[in-house]
Structure 1
Amino acid sequence: MVTYLEEASAVQLGELRGVIALDGPSGTGKSTVARRLAVTLGAGYLDTGAMYRAVTLAVLRAGIATDDEQAVLTVAEHVDLRVSADAEHQDVLLGGENVGSEIRGQAVTLAVSAVSAVAQVRALLVARQMRIIDEVCQERGGIVVEGRDIGTVVAPDAALKVYLTASSDARARRRSLQDSASFDDTKRDVDRRDQLDSGRAASPLQPADDAVWLDTTNLDLQGVLDEILALVDERDLRGVAAGR
């Protein structure tokens, strides 16, 4: 079962109406940008990557080989996973345990591409992601969703699709600072993830045809936010019903 954590108090409608889809490879700043964007617009937030990471952690804890697709799928089908749709409180609960930090560890990072490449696992989680998006939009009016197949698969009718990109060196530098790892090791991991995510048969990493490309190589966080908020206003997505 995969659900999202409902807030205890009534949720006020935010400014955003509809879905903003943020896609792109590792190290482009998707997570930070998506969270800040959601907070700025009073919108819901969904990190689809955290869902794949949580399933991967469940697979590792069960001692299952990541290339045993049927066993991996069985775990995904029965996992007790709840994710927060609140950008300021990003709880990821696995069997009631908050695993938000553990899913960012090296063991999960090395295994998540293999788990997320299982077509039936992706189909299962995508269906649940779509349901969460619908429920949050009904409650809050809008949601910012980040991942690697949002504009192409999860929310193909999103009101705004942005594909974040950056040079591999820039992405490796950011990741190495974030993870306190060496640049060379991080660069190899970034290149490995790019190859796996772009080359998988099920929902490969690629921009939607109607996505706006945004190169973050030479932009700071505020610069990226300003660019996306300008697109939000250009499309009149604040306080107006926007299609998903």
Structure 2
Amino acid sequence: MKHVNGLVIAIDGPSGSGKSSTARGVARRLGLAYLDTGAMYRAITWLALHEGIDPVDTDAIAALAADAELEIDDDSTATVFRINGHDVTAAIREPRISENVSRIATNLRVRDILVADQQRRITEARASGGIVVEGRDITTVVAPESEVRVLLVADPEARIARREAELAGAADTAAVTDQVVRRDRDDSTVAAFTEAAEGVTVVDSTHMGLDEVIDRICTMADPASIPLSETPSPETPSPEPPDKE
């Protein structure tokens, strides 16, 4: 499928709305890079617990994030996360991480550090062809100039059911409900992802299959759907002034 070269697709939404599956599916179909910003906060959470640092110790967590070396290796099938040399790809999805990640994600100093890192990665990916980025504040803070900006939503019941399926029995319904509701409540204090900002398209996935959602966003990424003023183009040198006689 054709798309604008240097395209950035930003997808925000609450827990369980289908951001990760959708973003990866769109990236795979369009041949773009993929960045899960939520996983970056999860990686810092894992490191804090690994180092025995209390997630509510804002100064210590900010210092930890500033010094952390986060590697993200992405291909068409999977993403590998390493932090300070540790492969945490599977570990960052554990319930204990979900229970603590909001404490990290609401640390404003950590957000500043990770947003800067995310913006750097987006700039590099844009130069290489484009990227799909998903998270909480991508459309408004991290990459507000993205050519395609989507707020992916779903009813609470659907979001909880999806998260339960994702955890495959690792947590009961009450625990999953608490995680989803609490994370959205906590994260909404530092990131606006409950209502679409101007220029952001709302896609309600409650009654849509994954392929339908991917189709919808890929259609939005078609060059014919992107206003000319939003289409990135390579910089061209300014014409040289005429020689003075």
Tell whether the structures are fold-level matches, with TM greater than 0.5.
yes
What amino acid is aligned across from residue 14 of structure 2 in structure 1? P
Aligned equivalent of 1:50, options 16, 31, 39: 39
2:75 aligns to what?
86
Measured after TM superposition, the shift of residue 84 of structure 1 is 2.5
Query: Is 1:185 paired with 2:181?
Result: no
Identity over aligned pairs, percent: 39
Q: Specify the SS of the correspondent of 2:221.
A: helix
Q: How does 1:80-159 map to 2 (within 5 A)?
A: 80-139=69-128, 141-159=129-147
Query: Is 1:229 paired with 2:218?
Result: yes
Q: How does 1:4-43 map to 2 (within 5 A)?
A: 15-17=3-5, 18-43=7-32
Which of 1 and 2 has greater Rg?
2
Measured after TM superposition, the shift of residue 132 of structure 1 is 0.5
Matches of 2:186 and 2:109 in 1, distance apart? 17
Matches of 1:197 and 1:236 in 2, distance apart? 30
Matches of 1:29 and 1:66 in 2, distance apart? 27
What amino acid is aligned across from residue 24 of structure 1 in structure 2? G
Q: Cα deviations across residues 41-60 of structure 1 (Å, max 9, x unaligned)?
A: 01011110111110111111
Query: Is 1:160 paired with 2:138?
Result: no
1:194 aligns to what?
184
Matches of 1:134 and 1:121 in 2, distance apart? 20
Contact 2:98 2:179 in 1 (8 A): no
Query: May I ask how many residue pairs the two structures share in their alignment?
Result: 225
TM-score, scaled to structure 1 = 0.87
Question: Moved runs in structure 1, 4+ residues, more than 4 A?
Answer: none
Measured after TM superposition, the shift of residue 115 of structure 1 is 0.6
Contact 1:151 1:161 in 2 (8 A): yes
Contact 1:19 1:159 in 2 (8 A): yes
Measured after TM superposition, the shift of residue 241 of structure 1 is 5.0
Measured after TM superposition, the shift of residue 25 of structure 1 is 0.6
Contact 1:90 1:100 in 2 (8 A): yes
Q: Cα deviations across residues 24-71 of structure 1 (Å, max 9, x unaligned)?
A: 011011101101100100101111011111011111111111111100
Measured after TM superposition, the shift of residue 92 of structure 1 is 0.2
Matches of 1:39 and 1:162 in 2, distance apart? 17
Q: Specify the SS of the correspondent of 2:34.
A: strand
Query: Is 1:66 paired with 2:52?
Result: no
Matches of 1:59 and 1:160 in 2, distance apart? 34
Matches of 2:182 and 2:219 in 1, distance apart? 33
Gaps in structure 2 of 5+ consecutive residues = 234-245
Gaps in structure 1 of 5+ consecutive residues = 1-13
RMSD: 1.8
Q: Specify the SS of the correspondent of 2:132.
A: strand
Measured after TM superposition, the shift of residue 85 of structure 1 is 4.1
